[in-house]
A and B are shown apart, each in its own frame.
Chain A
Amino acid sequence: MNPTLGRWGKFGLGTYFWALVLFLYTPLVVLLVFSFNDSTIATLPYSGFTTKWYGRAFDNQEMVDAIMLSAKIALLNSLFATALGVVGAIGLSAGRLFGRSAITALLMLPLVVPYIVLGIGMLILINQVNVDQSMWVVLAGHIVITVPYTILVVLPRLRTLDDALPEAARDLGSSDVGAFFRITAPLILPAVVSAMIISFIISFDEYAIASFLVPPGDKTFPIFVYGGTKVPEQRPELLAIGATVIVISLCVVMIAEFGRGWLERRQTGRDSLAAATAE
């Protein structure tokens, strides 16, 4: 029963929704389709099916290096940013917190600072302290932008936890740290894993900040792609690798989302079962 729309209204809105979904997915499909096109330029009519671009792309050492470098940065970033985020989320979930709104504002600030300001800010900071551009600086910048996301993922999960659980652990003789690792940590694990995945993806894909902070000559994957868009001869290989990355990341996102839902459902199931038994 929906009182807000007539049948035609619903139909129109549904059509609009799926038309927009089509619009959102078209570029991805085009990329996929033309990565198999037997021609150096992506244009219609289709010249025939080939997988040779995939072979060439993966033989391209520069690209493999770029992917490995980005993966390394993204992995370290997901560890550090999530650690900071979990700690920060626990801090923000404290009942009493001096200067809560100021601290919250600071922790969320990277979400609204334009990336260009972050990039040049980091650039003049390292210039000021005489540090060269390096992968560590890129990593430091990526941690800045991903910390708020990890907090936003972990904090709601912390809030839904029953405070009585860690309290009970402490009453039974556990230390604060012990209570965290044995009670809280397993319960927020699904959120922590999503936080890690999200921060990995953001870092792996980040171009704007990295473009200011990579040392000349080195390339993260987005910087490699950016360079490739300017070289038409490289485009077919770029399409092949792009299609691969897009398919993989869609799969990861799907597994992450449904996996998290499944884990949380299972835990809630257990919680309610425990509650039922307790009664």
Chain B
Amino acid sequence: MATAEEASVRPARRRVGRPRLRPAKGWLALPPALYLLGLLILPIALLSLYSVFLLTNLIGVTNVFSLSAWQDFFPSNPFTWKPWSTESVFWNRFTLSMCVTLIVSLVVTTMAYPLAYFLAFVSERRRYVFLFILLAPFFTSFLLRVLAWQVMLNDSGVINSALWQLGILSDGQPLEIFGMGIFRTWFSVGLVLGYSWIPFVALPIFVVLENMDRRVIEAAQDLGASRFMTFLRVTLPLSLPGVIAGFVFVLIPTTGEFVTPQLVGGTDTYMFGQAIQDLFIGTAISWNTGSVLAIWLMAVVVVLIAFSSRFLVMDLREGTE
């Protein structure tokens, strides 16, 4: 009945001369788009001008196009380049930071997968409550959580003093893991970075697992696959988009991270983001060099996004109709 009515109503309405069924409201996307053009794209454009000396904050230097900052950044001969060489220090910083972020991202994604699996397949009806429990701490202040880790990890901190009290370590001797102390080392930096990101990595994996067609799993088992084989050959491959999205979710923000290594890291854990910060507001100011590093960081992120974009913004791209 309803469809027949609709069919008779719609043409009639067009005839009375309504040019469109709904207003063109697409232009409403413009205000935020313009805002971001001015305060996001324009600054990035200025950074790229700085990186080639078309702009500079140095006094007495005229703005002449020059690639010298870029040349200084890259190692002159990539084939003889060694991570420990003193040539191109910022490039070394970059590769070292990248290695650390990759390791952290891999570990965090691996650790987050079982969480997502538990939420999607085991927790049944309370899954959203459990998901909320998992995510809730991360709506509290990031700096305060890092402060809490400082309190726990430092040499006379909660962890060390607890171990002294329990007699596991002799008094005054701080804990060491993998031959390094637990504070102001790569261990503490990795730990706090991982701590910060695990729930966010679990989220996209959970969404994919949750929306997976359960019948394919049943089909695999009906056809005689063991539980393990079902996971390996069916569930895991189907959940890879979520895994990749999660991996990128942690990789991108940690690549430019400078706050965590400042607060729980030491002199050995100086990361690429800290180098950029120091070049802009720190001790060794050079905005031109800093811009090269920042643009390079952006470029790396853009490449990462390009490789993974179809896993990231899938549901936004779809039209509404």
Pairwise interchain contact A93-B37, C-beta atoms closer than 8 A: no
Q: A226 and B143: CB pair below 8 A?
A: yes
Decide: B297 and A28 in contact? CB cutoff 8 A. no
Q: CA of A194 to CA of B218 in the docked complex: distance in angstroms?
A: 38
State whether the Cβ of B15 lies closer than 8 Å to any Cβ in chain A.
no
B212 to chain A, nearest CB (A): 10
List of B residues within 8 angstroms of A249 by Cβ = 139-141
Q: When A and B form their complex, which 10 residue pairs have the shortest distance between CB atoms, in order from nearest?
A: A91-B29, A121-B43, A114-B256, A27-B148, A91-B28, A97-B26, A94-B26, A88-B32, A44-B161, A242-B144
Structural contact, A238 and B320, CB atoms closer than 8 A: no
B63-71, B84-92, B109-117, B179-187: which lies at the interface: B109-117
- CB-defined contacts of A3 to chain B, threshold 8 Å: 217-218, 221, 227, 230
Closest to B230 in A: A4
In the complex, whether A64 has a CB less than 8 A from a CB of chain B is no
B44, B199, B231: the one contacting A117 at CB < 8 Å is: B44
CB-CB contacts of B134-155 with A at 8 A, as 1s and 0s?
1011011111111111111000
Q: Whole-angstrom distance between the alpha carbons of A16 and B190 in the complex?
A: 20
Of the residues B227, B259, B313, contact of A208 by C-beta under 8 Å: B259
Against A, the Cβ 8 Å flags (1 = close, 0 = not) of B14-30 are: 00000001111111111
Q: Which residues of A81-97 have CB atoms within 8 Å of chain B's CB atoms? A: 84-85, 87-88, 90-97
Find out whether the CB atom of B162 lies under 8 angstroms from the CB atom of A44: yes
Say yes or no: is B118 at the interface (Cβ < 8 Å to chain A). yes
Instruction: Judge whether B36 and A147 touch: CB under 8 Å.
Output: yes
Bound form: Cα–Cα A113–B299 in Å: 10
Interface residue from A30, A43, A117 paired with B298 (Cβ < 8 Å) = A117
B114 and A17 form a contact (CB under 8 A): yes
Q: In the complex, A188→B313 CA distance in Å?
A: 22
Is B40 in contact with A4, judged by CB distance below 8 angstroms?
Answer: no
C-alpha gap A226/B136 in the complex (Å): 22
| Among B230, B252, B259, contact of A112 (Cβ-Cβ < 8 Å) | B252
**A14: CB under 8 A from chain B?**
yes
- B297 and A109 within 8 A (CB): no
Q: What 1/0 mask marks residues of chain B from 240 to 267 whose CB sits below 8 Å from any chain A CB?
A: 0000000000001101101100010000
Do residues B43 and A118 form an inter-chain contact, with CB atoms below 8 A? yes
* Cβ-based interface call for A101 (8 A): yes
Q: Is B28 a contact partner of A88 (Cβ separation < 8 A)?
A: yes
Which of A16, A101, A121, A125 has the most chain B CB within a 10 Å cutoff? A121
Q: State whether B40 touches A109 (Cβ < 8 A).
A: yes
Which residues of chain B in 121-173 are interfacial with respect to chain A, using CB atoms and an 8 Å cutoff?
Answer: 121-123, 130, 132-134, 136-137, 139-152, 156-158, 161-162, 164-165
- B198 on the A face (CB < 8 A): yes
Tally of A-B Cβ pairs under 8 angstroms? 288
Contacts of B7 in A (CB 8 A): none
Among the listed stretches A49-57, A250-258, A266-274, which one makes contact with chain B, having 4 or more residues with CB under 8 Å of it?
A250-258
Which of B39, B151, B156, B253 gathers most chain A CB within 10 Å? B151
Some 18 contacts from A to B, beta carbons below 8 A apart, are: A4-B217, A4-B230, A17-B119, A31-B144, A31-B151, A34-B151, A42-B157, A44-B161, A88-B33, A101-B317, A114-B298, A125-B42, A176-B23, A228-B147, A245-B144, A246-B140, A246-B141, A249-B140
Q: In the bound complex, what is the Cα–Cα distance between A41 and B160 (angstroms)? A: 13
**A25 and B137 contact, Cβ closer than 8 Å, known pairs A114-B256, A125-B39:** yes
Chain B residue with the shortest CB-CB distance to A156: B315
Whether the pair A2, B35 counts as a contact (CB closer than 8 A) is no
Complex Cα–Cα for A143 and B287 (A): 25
Question: Known contacts A4-B121, A208-B259, A212-B281; can you find 16 more A-B pairs with CB under 8 A?
Answer: A5-B121, A17-B123, A20-B115, A26-B152, A31-B151, A104-B313, A109-B40, A113-B40, A113-B298, A120-B47, A121-B294, A124-B291, A222-B141, A242-B147, A245-B144, A253-B139
A30 in contact with B151 (CB, 8 Å): yes
Whether B294 pairs with A104 at a CB distance below 8 angstroms is: no
Assess the A93–B320 pair: CB atoms within 8 A: yes
Chain A residue contacts of B280, Cβ below 8 A: 120, 123, 212
Instruction: Closest B residue to A258 by CB, please name it.
Output: B132
Tell whether, in the assembled complex, residue A117 and residue B32 are in contact, meaning their CB atoms are under 8 Å apart.
no
